[in-house]
Amino acid sequence: MDVRATDTIDSLASNLASYLVAGQVNSVRRAYYYAEQAHDGQFRRSGDPYVTHPLAVANILCDMHMDHQSLMAALLHDVIEDTGISKTAIKNQFGGTVADLVDGVSKLNKINFSSRAEAQAENFQKMAMAMAKDLRVILVKIADRLHNMRTLGVLAPEKRRRIARETLDIYAPIANRLGMNNVRVEFEELGFQALYPMRARRIATAVKKIRGNRKEIVSQIQTSLEACLEREGLPGRTIGREKHHFSIYQKMRAQRKSFSEIMDVYAFRIIVDKVDTCYRVLGAVHNLYKPVPGRFKDYIAIPKANGYQSLHTTLFGMHGVPIEIQIRTEEMEAMANNGIAAHWLYKSGEESPSNAHMRAREWVNGLLELQKSAGNSLEFIEHVKIDLFPDEIYVFTPKGSIFELPTGSTAVDFAYAIHTDVGNSCVACRINRRLAPLSEPLQSGQTVEIITAAGGQPNPAWLSFVTTGKARSNIRHYLKNQRHSESVSLGRRLLNKALATFNTQLDKIPHESIDQVLKQTNQGSLDNLLAEIGLGNRMAYMVAQRLVPNNRTQEEVEKSESQHSLAIRGSEGLVMNYARCCHPIPGDPIVGHVSSGRGMVIHTDDCNNIADIRDNPEKCVTVTWDPDVEGEFSVELRVELENQRGIIATLATAVTGAEANIEKISTLERDARLSIVNLLISVRNRVHLAQVMKRIRLISAVSSVSRVKSRATRKVIRNTIGSHPFESDHGKDPAG
């Protein structure tokens, strides 16, 4: 047995005796001896016996006054992974709670992942699941990572950098999210030194150098603040705050400021006895030095998401020196430094969970909700990283409830923060009682009202402006499910059309034949096979041939196909696309191109882009417009007109007067007298288009109006090379 290790377990036991009962301390001792025996013969890179690591982790948790079960889990946390001992053996020895904690903290190194990023993501995902069962898992994990970071020096540079990057990306923000400021700062400082050793050394040297020059000013400001509190009869202690090296580095990068500009600010913390005194001290320091407008923040009335509370203000000090001041109570100071750990550090008896504990639980429950809707572990971790960033805004519901959201959040983020169903059915919003776009970034203090509709559903465009992981994952989840159901529906119609050429339907096919085809195509269910057909990954005709073996000639097949064309309704959703090259509209002769991964793309019958595959039954499907087709369809018009003041407005009025929408407008001046205007408008069908064109022709300045089709594109490009540089973009059709 290692003598030094025995001394350490004795010193740990004596520290534990200050807040745990004798029986609990003995349980921790027993866990230590069990771990020591399990790790016998194993050594760390430093050459120390392996058991020194779990012991160090237990010491970190002891400083937080964690309970005896957490300390036992800390001592045993590598036993399952690194020795032959099972979770069941630990459960038999130390009980189910300790075994679950150990299992939650155990790493996932034995699983082979396709990438290191995926391994990290899966690891974090398992940790989130374990945290949901017991929050102590995250604290043991954080203590484990903290000791690993303290002993990083013995590892190879590449491994050192990888662990440091993971710590800065995930563990430091988690510590921050749980309000554990002391741990966060240590993670950041150690990670910074390991990841950017030269930058860390330079900043440390510069800070050391400047510290001597600042000493006198810091002392003067501190003396004047203490004298001010004494004059007003306000009890409190004032301490100067040192900026951390990583924080200096981040500010220099983010704000593009020099080292001297960042170090020009002097920071102090005033710690008082109660909340009332905080506000009185604020008044006193605002009388002493003038406050900087817009720099006051009240985190006591509205705490941060991690439970942090404090008053923040910035003052113009003597000689115009900026002074940052934080005012808080002793309890808030303890909470700011220890966060969720303060629940164990300061609790007395079996009182109700602390504010930080409740917030941490809410956050973990939010993680679980994210996990359910995320497609995979990498998508999940992408959402979590977004939510771990600390900058927040606070907005109100019309009834006065407060919601905290990341900076840059929109009304859609707010809608999903209220409830997933509110987000999914959101159609509009009011910000401070005025109607506003859903994409408008929210500001702190605004009142936001979400307008929902029964038929509302998420828009794919929302993904380009939402900020929170919850909104992003729920939108993706909804669209994924919607796309799946739409592709199943389209796949069923395509397969039934293909089966009609064999004079049968899907519901008439025997189950044995369907099961056989599912086995041949490696699909778990009929819906999956139909989705594959709908997305264009499998040809409906080929599947139909497998379902109904036949001996018909090609001529018979083609004749049957022409009799059973697929009707386009316009309501097929995400898996039915209308080609942008030829802009088909109801009334046009059309053909369907089955595009892998996209579903079906509808082209006009004479579109150049499908000329080569037009007669290939594996790539193109016979389609017609349903008599009751609905929706609006884009079409491009080319208008030749005389240059007149306000002519574009007149043109727009004519189009909207015919109940059509303008999606895009572009102007090309051909000479001083004539212009060519290209309009992309949405119409219901060819009849509606004819009405729009008739209205446009009635404008006296218009000399011609024609529909742009793709069939003349190549000819126009050929004819215009060397004449007009832009005309080839329009693909005009002189015939109209």
Residue 732: φ, ψ to 5°: -70, 155
Across 44-58, 268-282, 287-301, 575-589, the highest mean pLDDT is recorded for: 268-282
Closest CA to 175 of 309, 370, 363: 363
Roughly what angle, to the nearest 10 degrees, separates helices 526-534 and 469-500? Answer: 90
Residues 6+ apart with CB under 8 A from 305: 177, 359, 363, 390, 392, 404
Residue range 671-695: average pLDDT? 89
Q: What is the pLDDT of residues 515-529, one digit of tens each?
A: 888 877 778 788 888
Alpha-carbon distance of 677 to 193, in angstroms, equals 61
Rounded to a whole number of angstroms, the distance between the first and last alpha carbons of the chain is 95
Burial zone of 148 (CB within 10 Å; 0-12 exposed, 13-18 middle, 19+ buried): middle
The token pair at 698 is 């009635």
Q: State the pLDDT confidence band at 109, using cuts at 50, 70 and 90.
A: very low
Using a pLDDT cut of 70, give the percent of the chain over it: 80
pLDDT band per the 50, 70, 90 thresholds, residue 388? low
426-431, strands of its sheet edge to edge: 434-436, 426-431, 448-452
Place of tokens 């509808």: 602
Within 10 A of 28 (CB to CB), how many other CB atoms are there?
22
The pLDDT assigned to 131 comes to 65
pLDDT at residue number 240 = 85
Average model confidence (pLDDT) across the chain: 79
Give the pLDDT score at 414.
Answer: 93
pLDDT of residue 317: 81
271 CB-contact burial (10 Å; exposed 0-12 / middle 13-18 / buried 19+): buried
Cα four-point dihedral sign 703, 707, 711, 716 = positive
Q: CA 11, CA 518: separation in Å to the nearest integer?
A: 66
> How would residue 384 be classed by pLDDT, with cut points 50, 70 and 90?
low
Give the per-residue pLDDT at 732.
38
Same domain? 671 vs 646? yes
CA distances from 290 to 258, 271, 324, 574 (A): 26, 21, 12, 59
Instruction: Flag whether pLDDT at 130 surpasses 70.
Output: no
Look at strands 661-669 and 620-625 and give their pairing: unpaired
For the segment 530-539, what is each residue's pLDDT rounded down to a tens digit?
Answer: 887 777 777 7
CA neighbor of 473 nearest in space, from 541, 386, 407:
386
CB atoms within 10 A of CB 427: 15
- pLDDT of 637 reads 93
Is 221 a member of any domain? yes
Q: What is the mean pLDDT of residues 177-192?
A: 87
Q: Beta-strand (E) ranges in 65-163?
A: none
Q: Residue 2 and residue 8: Cα distance in Å, rounded? A: 10
CATH number at residue 23: 1.10.3210.10
What is the CATH classification number for the domain harbouring 713? 3.30.70.260
Instruction: State how far the Cα of 120 lies from the Cα of 427, in Å rounded to an integer.
Output: 37
Locate 39 and state its tokens.
Answer: 């790790």
Q: Are residues 185 and 211 in the same domain?
A: no
Domain shared by 267 and 241, yes or no = yes
The proportion of the chain whose per-residue pLDDT surpasses 90, expressed as a percent, equals 15
pLDDT at 735: 32
Residue 162: is it exposed, middle or buried by C-beta count within 10 angstroms (0-12/13-18/19+)?
middle
DSSP string, 284-326: HHHHHSEEPTT--EETTTS--TT----EEEEEE-GGG-EEEEE
Domain presence at residue 364: no
Residue 534: phi and psi, rounded to 5, are: -60, -35
- What integer pLDDT is reported at residue 577 of this predicted model? 81
445-468 confidence digits (pLDDT tens): 788 999 998 878 888 889 888 988
Q: 146, 171, 195: which is the final residue of a domain?
A: 195
Going from the C-alpha of 291 to that of each of 48, 221, 455, the distances in angstroms are 54, 15, 51
Total number of residues shown for the chain:
736
pLDDT at 4: 41
d(CA 531, CA 607): 27
Domain that holds residue 596: 477-617
Q: Which of 241, 234, 164, 243 is nearest to 203 (CA)?
A: 243
**What per-residue confidence (pLDDT) applies to 227?**
92
569 contacts: CB under 8 Å, gap ≥ 6: 626, 628, 629, 630
Q: In Å, what is the CA distance from 235 to each residue of 45, 310, 328?
A: 51, 17, 12
- Whether residue 46 lies inside any domain: the answer is yes
Most confident of 218-222, 673-677, 690-694, 731-735: 690-694
Q: Please name which of 412, 407, 374 lies closest in space to residue 392, comparing C-alpha atoms.
A: 407
| Residue 393 included in any domain | no
**What is the domain count for the chain?**
4
pLDDT per position as a tens digit, 199-212: 999 988 888 887 77
Q: Are residues 121 and 232 in the same domain?
A: no
> Residue 284's Cα: distance from chain center in Å?
43
pLDDT tens, 266-297? 889 999 999 999 999 999 999 999 998 888 88
CA 251 vs. chain centroid, Å, equals: 24
Q: What is the sign of the dihedral through the CA atoms of 536, 538, 539 and 543?
A: negative
Residue 718 confidence (pLDDT): 34
Q: What was the pLDDT predicted at 391? A: 63
For the ranges 222-236, 322-336, 378-392, 473-487, the lowest mean pLDDT is seen at 378-392
By the 10 Å C-beta count (0-12 exposed, 13-18 middle, 19+ buried), 334 is classed as middle
Alpha-carbon span 83 to 85, nearest angstrom: 6
pLDDT tier for residue 357 given thresholds of 50, 70 and 90: low
Distance CA 297, CA 278 (A): 13
pLDDT band at 638 (very low <50, low <70, confident <90, very high): very high
- Judging by DSSP bridges, how do beta strands 566-568 and 620-625 pair with one another? parallel
Tokens of 89: 């053996």
190 & 314 share domain: no
Residue 372: pLDDT over 80: no
pLDDT-based confidence at residue 711 (cuts at 50, 70, 90) = very low
Buried b (16+ CB within 10 A) or exposed e, 590-620: bbbbbeeeebbbbbbeebbbbeeeeeebebb
In Å, what is the CA distance from 312 to each residue of 166, 273, 300, 373, 404? 31, 17, 10, 38, 18
**pLDDT tens-digit map of 394-438:** 788 888 777 878 888 999 999 998 988 999 999 899 998 899 889
Confidence at residue 38, expressed as pLDDT on a 0 to 100 scale: 86
Burial per residue of 690-719, b for 16 or more beta-carbon CB atoms within 10 angstroms, e otherwise: ebbbebbeebeebeebbbbbbbbbeebeee
Calpha distance 514→543 (Å, rounded)? 10
How does DSSP classify residue 445? Answer: T
pLDDT per position as a tens digit, 17-47: 888 888 898 999 999 999 888 888 888 887 8
Bridge partners of 669, per DSSP, are 675
pLDDT at 373: 61
Domain-embedded: residue 414: no
> Domain check: are 153 and 13 in the same one?
yes
Q: Which residues pair with 272 in a beta bridge?
A: 236, 329
Same domain, yes or no: 32 and 165: yes
Domain boundary among 323, 345, 367: 345
Strands of 383-447 (E only): list them: 392-396, 402-406, 426-431, 434-436
- When pLDDT is averaged across residues 692-718 and rounded to a whole number, the result is 74
CA distance 488 to 535: 9
Residues 643 and 592 in one domain: no
Mean pLDDT along residues 351-355: 53
The set of residues, in sequence order, having a beta carbon less than 8 Å from that of 429 and lying 6+ positions away, is 411, 414, 415, 435, 436, 438, 448, 449, 450, 451
Known catalytic residues are 81-82
Instruction: Give me the pLDDT at residue 87, please.
Output: 84
CA atoms within 13 A on the CB side of 616: 10
**Would residue 487 count as lying in a domain?**
yes
**Coil, strand or helix: which one is 683?**
strand
Residue with the two structure tokens 């050929």: 718
Q: What is the CATH number of the domain that holds 248?
A: 3.30.460.10
pLDDT at 449: 93
Lowest-confidence segment of 99-103, 113-117, 665-669 by average pLDDT: 113-117
Q: What is the pLDDT of residue 112?
A: 42
Domain identity same for 83 and 227:
no
Q: Can you give the pLDDT at residue 349? A: 43
Domain boundary among 157, 175, 195: 195
Q: Which two tokens stand for residue 85?
A: 């001992």
Answer whether residue 451 is part of any domain.
no
Give, to the nearest 10 degrees, the angle between helix 116-133 and helix 377-388: 70
The three-class DSSP label of residue 585 is coil
Based on the fold, state whether residues 295 and 333 are members of the same structural domain.
yes
DSSP-based three-state secondary structure for 567: strand
Give the pLDDT score at 429.
92
| pLDDT of the residue at 721 | 31
DSSP conformation class of 674: E
Instruction: Tell me whether residue 367 is in a domain.
Output: no
- pLDDT bucket at 187, cuts 50 / 70 / 90: very high
53 with 8, same domain?
A: yes
What does the pLDDT average to over 140-157? 88
User: Do residues 138 and 9 share a domain?
Assistant: yes
Whole-number pLDDT of residue 423: 92
Residue 623 has which token pair? 């389609």
- DSSP-based three-state secondary structure for 708: coil
